[in-house]
Structure 1
């Protein structure tokens, strides 16, 4: 249930649900009202109503009033996206803040690797949700250079033992189990 918080994660979940039901293209492109084949148009309108119903069902009543007047799944999605993600300028400002937070993030002495890795991946997910292209290698390098000094012996081992251009953040999931 979407209550207004965590739009980035909610929208990813919704996109997955709508893709799995072959409805996502309608949400993004809308119904082609110029379709000459009445059967195809009718089918597209039914699928659009189905997509809109799915979105409406997972929006809390307090937010429903904002989308109730929308006449299509595309309009419904755009209303929520604009309100909770913002327009291009708002997205750019949010992304700038996330970039700054990502660059300044460093593991604390008392923090477990798994917890730190979770924070890093949460920021990466948010950046990606706002359209930032961030490679797995960038994430790996960030984590390696920002671990506490107690991991100074591990970092060179990873750098020497693995090709960093092919390494994925999954290597830290292994470290997480060992650390906890």
Structure 2
């Protein structure tokens, strides 16, 4: 079999692009097809799942932490996709203490774990049935930085344009 430079280049490009779509080590699970997707009325306790979203609240208890997460869909690399729609919320149960300053409201979180029985709770005064995920592994994603984008009209660029020219004398006026 003879390898040409074109075949080698295509293989290298495919290998590099596949690295962009892989799930981080802490969220990896085999087989991927066995993972249960999020559904609001989920009743499959014991199944493995990888869910992701934005943290809404953190409640620390003596032996565990309960993190309320607004579900967002996962990208192919495990990062939550920032959208305006959510199918619901789930509670991520983590052993030990979780610092609320690090796991702050609005941060993205992905959790791999076992589905537990749903729990009744409240969002404000509204009763809500939360899906529960006992966390085996989790990934707290870096904060999303907002970037201000300013639009400059490319057709109005004039290097000699000075809006103050008629009102600003070039030399001081005599008194």
| Pair in the same fold by TM > 0.5 | no
Task: Give the greater-gyration-radius structure (CA).
Answer: 2
TM-score, with normalisation over the residues of structure 1?
A: 0.22
TM-score, with normalisation over the residues of structure 2?
A: 0.22
More helix, by proportion: 1
